[in-house]
């Protein structure tokens, strides 16, 4: 007996314009027809265009419902066929919500439909909006609880800004759709998660919330959206870690299939429909949403392990076993897309900041993944291309391969931030270090990192220092505080207290989760915390600030 068809995801909203919006969903069958049915009487429909994801796979490390292929647990990456459906709903009126649902019809005529949700085009200027600021979900333990508490606390949101690291390994399909632990990306954002948490014998299962079915999401690329060299390693984790610079790949393999032999964001770009720029396509872009001009940059690098004795490709050193085989080197924390002065992305950013759309916006916000200011660990070393230092003996044999990162060459601080200051950007939003903290510079520009959903690495504050090899100079590799010389802001309403009873300027916890809401009606950003150890406790607003108008 053939099972009835199922949707792999609920529909979600993308790329709103003044009179239209895209509806996207996924199935594991190609189908005969897929459509969006919409309108107060459901008397309109739009036929979807169907495409197949090209790189989605599962492997021996996947967590899927049926982890077997031909009766055996996967021994290698196996292609998983997933189809994406996208329909454009047109003729919409700004600020008017209408109901919709999607239907997919299988080749045998059997069909499946979603629940009814609502959609609207891009909001008019002057419309007060609530925007969820989030980051670094990566199937972390508190994500489903975090998203569930968003809607329980503030009601439905009007948009989601996601500052990168949506999943861990972007080509592993189950991390997006149906990881059997119950906390894959789409289930959490669509209220279909099933993630149990237990403290002191009390067990609560969190579902996330139905958010992106009704509100568009704008994302940026983090290091976990980037895959390495294609099908060169034994599993998808190893492939994810197998990135090398484009220039090195070109010298090793030639010009043809350069992305296949260096790194790619294919799955991320195939999943999402985002605004595009001429030079960056979907990887960096700008969009107007209500009163906000949101500028999204591709600022991220490869995360490498900091310890010198590791056998893995390191942040500061190559393993001894690979010294004579440059093809296996990791090349340090390589930067994926240049953003230094004179690069394509920098030139595009200059043009965007000078555009009428940007200048006329009430709120000017820039989002990217890598932190310019943080107490987290991932800001060290500096955001700059690694300087490779190769030492050889007198016969020419390689003795060591090291990498240095001069702080005065940090591209974000040296090149990007001055542009943003001159353009009177009010907020820079980012993630990467799995904590909450914020800063304000002398020009009044706010910096917010709100990515604490579990797997926190802690904060370099008080007695805790960053994990940095002892032989590295302090002036380039800061062990405590923000390396770029801003003091963190103490939460304005209800800060947590340290062991000494003093207010902490951060939240870095694997028990207390944080989310932030941007209210464009007041220009206020509010941050909330929820203690998952106390499931019946209230969500607490612990910080709030208002962005100034320059």
Would you place residue 69 in the very low, low, confident or very high pLDDT band (cuts 50, 70, 90)? low
Instruction: Clarify whether residues 425 and 463 are in a common domain.
Output: yes
Domain assignment present for 440: yes
Domain assignment present for 494: yes
- Structure pTM? 0.97
Would you place residue 1 in the very low, low, confident or very high pLDDT band (cuts 50, 70, 90)? low
Max CA separation in the chain (angstroms) = 82
Would you place residue 457 in the very low, low, confident or very high pLDDT band (cuts 50, 70, 90)? confident
Instruction: Clarify whether residues 88 and 149 are in a common domain.
Output: no
CATH code for the domain of 153: 3.60.21.10
Pick the last residue of a domain from 122, 148, 173.
122
Q: Give the gyration radius of the chain's Cα atoms.
A: 23
Rounded to the nearest integer, the mean pLDDT of the chain is 95
CATH code for the domain of 96: 2.60.40.10
Instruction: Clarify whether residues 367 and 509 are in a common domain.
Output: yes
Pick the last residue of a domain from 122, 152, 185.
122
Structural domain boundaries, residue 363: 124-226+265-300+338-383+420-550
Domain assignment present for 237: no
Instruction: Clarify whether residues 208 and 105 are in a common domain.
Output: no
Instruction: Clarify whether residues 292 and 149 are in a common domain.
Output: yes
Tokens 């240095």 correspond to 404
Residue 205, CB-side half-sphere exposure with 13 Å CA sphere: 7
Kindly give, in sequence order, each residue whose CB lies less than 8 Å from that of residue 163, ignoring residues fewer than 6 positions away.
133, 134, 135, 136, 220, 222, 367, 368, 369, 429, 430, 431, 451
Instruction: Clarify whether residues 181 and 87 are in a common domain.
Output: no
Total number of domains in the chain: 2
Instruction: Clarify whether residues 354 and 377 are in a common domain.
Output: yes
Domain assignment present for 402: no
Instruction: Clarify whether residues 100 and 151 are in a common domain.
Output: no
Per-residue pLDDT of 464-503, as tens digits, reads: 999 888 888 888 899 999 999 999 999 999 999 999 999 9
Instruction: Clarify whether residues 442 and 499 are in a common domain.
Output: yes
Instruction: Clarify whether residues 161 and 58 are in a common domain.
Output: no
Pick the last residue of a domain from 99, 122, 145.
122
Mean pLDDT of 396-420: 96
Domain assignment present for 323: no
Instruction: Clarify whether residues 14 and 144 are in a common domain.
Output: no
CA–CA distance, 163 with 220 (Å, rounded to integer): 5
């Amino acid at each position: 007996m053939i099972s009835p068809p199922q949707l792999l995801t609920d529909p979600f909203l993308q790329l709103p314009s003044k009179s239209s919006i895209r509806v996207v969903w996924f199935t594991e069958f190609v189908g005969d027809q897929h459509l969006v049915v919409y309108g107060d009487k459901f008397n309109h429909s739009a036929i979807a265009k169907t495409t197949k994801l090209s790189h989605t796979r599962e492997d021996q490390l996947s967590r899927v419902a049926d982890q077997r292929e031909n009766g055996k647990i996967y021994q290698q990456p196996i292609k998983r066929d997933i189809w994406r459906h996208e329909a454009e709903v047109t003729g919409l009126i700004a600020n008017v919500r209408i109901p919709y649902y999607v239907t997919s019809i299988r080749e045998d005529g059997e069909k499946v439909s979603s629940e009814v949700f609502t959609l609207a085009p891009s909001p008019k200027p002057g419309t007060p909006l609530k925007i969820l600021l989030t980051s670094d979900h990566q199937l972390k333990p508190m994500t489903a609880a975090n998203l569930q508490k968003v809607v329980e606390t503030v009601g439905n949101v009007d948009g989601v800004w996601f500052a990168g690291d949506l999943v861990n390994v972007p080509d592993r399909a189950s991390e997006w759709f149906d990881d059997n632990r119950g906390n894959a990306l789409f289930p959490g954002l669509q209220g279909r998660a099933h993630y149990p948490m237990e403290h002191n014998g009390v067990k609560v299962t969190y579902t996330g919330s139905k958010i992106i079915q009704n509100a568009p999401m704008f994302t940026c690329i983090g290091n976990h959206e980037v895959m390495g060299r294609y099908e060169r390693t034994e599993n998808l984790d190893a492939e994810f870690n197998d990135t090398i610079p484009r220039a090195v790949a070109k010298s090793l393999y030639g010009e043809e299939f350069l992305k296949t032999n260096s790194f790619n964001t294919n799955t991320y770009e195939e999943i999402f429909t985002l605004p595009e720029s001429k030079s960056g396509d979907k990887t960096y872009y700008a969009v107007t949403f209500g009163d906000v001009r949101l500028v999204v940059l591709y600022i991220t690098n490869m995360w490498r392990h900091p310890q010198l004795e590791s056998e893995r490709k390191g942040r500061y050193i190559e393993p001894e076993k690979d010294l004579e085989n440059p093809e296996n080197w990791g090349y340090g924390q390589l930067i994926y897309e240049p953003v230094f002065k004179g690069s394509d992305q920098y030139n595009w950013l200059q043009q965007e900041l000078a555009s009428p759309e940007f200048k006329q916006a009430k709120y000017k916000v820039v989002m990217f993944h890598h932190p310019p200011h943080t107490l987290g660990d991932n800001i060290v070393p500096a955001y700059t291309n690694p300087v490779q230092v190769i030492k050889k003996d007198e016969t020419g044999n390689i003795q060591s391969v090291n990498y240095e990162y001069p702080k005065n060459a940090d591209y974000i601080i040296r090149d990007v931030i001055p542009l943003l200051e001159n353009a009177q950007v009010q907020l820079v939003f980012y993630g990467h270090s799995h904590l909450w903290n914020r800063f304000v510079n002398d020009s009044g520009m706010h910096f917010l990192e709100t990515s604490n959903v579990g797997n926190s690495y802690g904060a370099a504050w008080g007695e805790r220092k960053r994990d940095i090899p002892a032989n590295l100079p302090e002036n380039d590799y800061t062990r405590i505080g923000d390396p770029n010389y801003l003091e963190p802001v103490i939460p304005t309403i209800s800060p947590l207290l340290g062991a000494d009873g003093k207010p902490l300027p951060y939240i870095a916890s694997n028990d207390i989760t944080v989310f932030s809401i941007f209210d464009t009606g007041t220009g206020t950003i509010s941050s909330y915390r929820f203690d998952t150890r106390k499931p019946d406790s209230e969500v607490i607003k612990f910080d709030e600030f208002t962005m100034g108008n320059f």
